[in-house]
Structures are given as structure tokens and as C-alpha cells.
Structure 1
Amino acid sequence: MEQRVLGPGALRRAFVLMTTAAKGIRITDQKMSEAKVRDSQRHLQDLLAAIPAAIYTTDRDGKITYFNEAAVALAGRTPVIGSDEWCVTWKLFWPDGTPLPHDECPMAISLREGKPVRGYEAIAERPDGIRIPFIPYPTPMRDADGNVIGGINMLVDVSERKQAETQQRILLDELNHRVKNNMMMLKSLLSVAARTSRSLEARDVLDEASKRVAAMAAAQRVLCDTADASNFSVQPFLGPFARLPSKCFHRMYGWFVKLTASNCRTTWRCRWPSSSTSF
């Protein structure tokens, strides 16, 4: 088999061809990688756009880089990418109505501290004056080295929940009013019956029943006036019940009964006319 020796010119041409082919391969790989990144970004944006909650992203300096249509609907305005900072809303307030500066909002705190912020609630005011209560869920975004490169936030509209809570409170207030009126009417009837009864024993029974109804009415009022029915002060709840045995013991034996409560523990104290004894 005959072997041919390439000259310097042929070697140069072969080298150029191989270099050009290698560059072409690298460019093709780079373009494919860029296309995959663009597809991934597009899929992510499509996913965020489909979520029925206000979502937006910022860079590490807090400037808005993306928002979905739900964010526009909640804010009542179209944010300006690269200009608006920290939040897509027009104005912010705390739940008590105190103004909340944008650079002190939960998203700003999350980016500064580099950690998710939870447990906050705020109110967004739209340009048309409508205020919307919402719960934010700001979370920092990091690169491969763990550095904060931006943040993503979801604003959950809780207007319907607030309206339901208001309606529930109205209904409970009406129920409390009706129950209180019925108990007071019952107490009045018992008191009238006790005063007009000729039997001493009947008067005592009716009087004690009237006091019991009054105690239940007082306890019911304490429960209804408490915002959280699962967590309330023991002393005002048990106070009305303590007055009834205190009066009974004092009338029959001359005792004085005092009820104290601390750390959900109750203590009964009975004081004799001349001394004090606990049990």
C-alpha cells in the first residue's frame, strides 16, 4: 500500500479544517444549551402564569424582574420591570392600617436576611383606592454557590376569608345578644317568682336558680367577648361561678370564698370569720 506524505501546505489546510469543525461543534453545543435554557425559562414562566395567585420575582437588589397576570389583578396596576422595587403593589399597610414602606416589606426582609419570611399579613392598596388583605410568602433564590441572586414572592388574597370572619362575628354577636336577652328574661321571671312566693323553701330554691342563671349568663358573655374561644382567661370565666358558692357559704356558715387563677391552675381559698384556711 502506497503511503503519501503531506506537505506543509496540506497540513495547514487540514489543521484549519479540523479547527473549523471543532468550533462548529462547540457553537452548536452552545446554541443547544442556550435553547434548552430558554425552553426551561419559558416553561417556568408558563407555569407561574398558570398559577391563580399573584407571583413576582426580583433581583438581589429588589428590582422587579417578572410578574404574572394575577399580580397585575391584585395590585390593580402593571408593575415596571427594572424600576419597581420590593413589591408589585402601589401602597402597603399593616393590618392595623399603619403605612408599610416597600423597603420594609416581607420581600425586602427576605432578601436582606437571605431566608424565607413567613407569618406576616399586610394590606395592598390599589390606585383605585380598593384595599386587599393578603399573606406574602417571600423566598430568596440562590445560585449554585449559594449566593442570593434574587427572590420570588407569592401574594395570597385573603379578602374572602376576612369577609367570612366578619360575617361569622356578626352572626355570633346576634346569637350572643339573643341568648343574653333570654337568660336575663329567665332570671327576671325567677326573681319575680321568688319574691311573690309564700313558701320560704320555694323562695330559696327560686333565688338560687336565679343566681345560677346569672352566673351562666356572665360566663357566656365572657366566652362570646373572647376573640379566641379556645384560649381565654380562666379568672373572668370562673368568677361568676365563684360568687354563687361564696354567697351561700357566707350566708350559711359565715365563710368567705375567694377564687384565684394562675397559669391555668385554680385555687379555692375559704376564709373563716377569724382565720384563713386553704383547701
Structure 2
Amino acid sequence: MKYNFLFNVILLIFVVTSCNHKKPFNQPVLITAAYDTIIQVDSKVMMEANHLIYGVNVLDTLDFSLKKDNNQDNVTNANQGFKNDSLIVYVDVNNANFHTHEINISELSPPPPPSFSIPESQEYNQVYRDSVFLEVMEKNKIKNKRRLKKHYNTLPVFIYNQSDNNRVIVPSVINGELYLIVEALDKNNQWKPIEYNKVPRRICISDFEYYQLKPKHVMVTSILKYSGDYKTKMRVKVLNDQKLYYSNPFNGSINYSQFDTIQAVNDMNTWFSDTTNQTHSFKKKLIFLDF
């Protein structure tokens, strides 16, 4: 009888623990890209948010070595008629060996042809221009290959559409990726940002497109897996069309100084201090997604 009781207690603990770690949806298989170096970030200061979208409308598998393809199924020109709810943000902390590059694929395009003051009408000059351009392209190709193989220890983040219809995700006007930062619990048990968005004084928007997330599909991004001397709970904060989403809390380590506001944030607060100006007020909120 005594052993049966102990067995039932152990079984109950196992069931409760399993339920607590149950994933909210079926996650795709992530195939990491080739690398030369993996960097572990041990930052002493608040970091600028840089969370790239590695895949949109992923269902079963995502190969990180492939260029993301924003075809018409992935984007729409307007968010009218599309809802922005029914999203789940989930951080997979069990993928211990995960790593990603932090370079936007769009940054790897070749540079424009160099400009010269010499008239282009002369055939020799045109040949020279072409040769210089090809040389620059070749050097950049080599440089970009090296950059793509410089990886960071990261955690995969999934944004899942749990509804039966398409949902719209509004990309950041800052960099075209996501409005996403990482927060952590401080010693007063308050959620505080350890990342910030670098909001420029001027934002130019042209040909703006929205991500269109299919039912039961995911968008895949990542966050840095920080290290430090302060163990705490962490979470991801996502802004979508002025609607906030929070991920599952997870255990992590940071340096406590990451809570400190850095000069770059103070400068932006000064630039956008006139909160009676609607544009300035909006930009100030974007720094920490305070909506």
C-alpha cells in the first residue's frame, strides 16, 4: 500500500510537470545553417533589438540556409479586412543547440555601380566602370559568405496563427522585420526591458506590405540567448498593429546592468520629448513598445 501511494504521487508529479511543459502547437523542424563561429553574448549593456524573420508560413520544416521568399502568399498590400488577433508567441527553450546569423538577407545584395565624374559615353570608361563594379561585387560576395557563417547562440521564437483564417502581422517601419524586444524580471519582480528599438528621427515608408500568416502556420524569428550573473525569468514582447503579445516566461541569465538605460535611449527620449506631437509620441512608444 505504501509503495502504491508513493507511485501515485510520483505519477501525479510527472503528469503535472508534463502539462506545464506542453507545447501549444506542433512546432516545425528547424535546420540550422552552416557556420564557422558561434558567439555567446554576455552583454553588460542594454542591447538594440535585431530580430530577423527567417520564415513566414512555415508548417513542417524550415531550413535556415535558404533565402526567405516573401511571395504573394506571404504578404498583402493592405491590412484592411484582416484581423490581427489569435496569435501565440512561443519561445522554445529546449532547443539548446540552436544558433542563427544576425544578418538580414536583403543586406547581402550587391552595391550599386560606383559613380565616376568621367563621361560614360566613352567606351573605355564604361569598360572600366564595369570591371570595378564586378570587382566590388566579387569582394562583397566573399565578405557576405563569411558574415553568414558568423552565428550567435539564440532561442527560436514562433508566432503561431491559431485561428482558421489568415491573420495580418504588421512589420516594423524601422527595419521591415518585427516589433519585438526581450524583457526580464528585476529584483522587484517587475518586467523591465533589456532591449530597445533604435527609432530614427525620420522614417521613410514606401511600398509597405504586411505579412499574411495562414491558419495553423508559424512565423519564425529568434532572440539572443544571453548569459550573465543574474538568473531570472524572461519573456518576449511583440507589438502587432498596436496590439501587444507576450510569450511564455522562461528561465535565463543576464547581467543586471542590462536594465540600465543607455545613452542612445536617452537621446531618443530627448528627440521625441514633445509628446503632444502625435508622430513623436508614437515614435517614443516604439522604443520599448509601450502601447
Whose strand proportion is higher, 1 or 2?
Answer: 2
Shorter-chain TM band: under 0.3
Larger radius of gyration: 1
TM-score, with normalisation over the residues of structure 1? 0.24
TM-score, with normalisation over the residues of structure 2? 0.23
Higher relative contact order (CA 8 A, sep 6+): 2
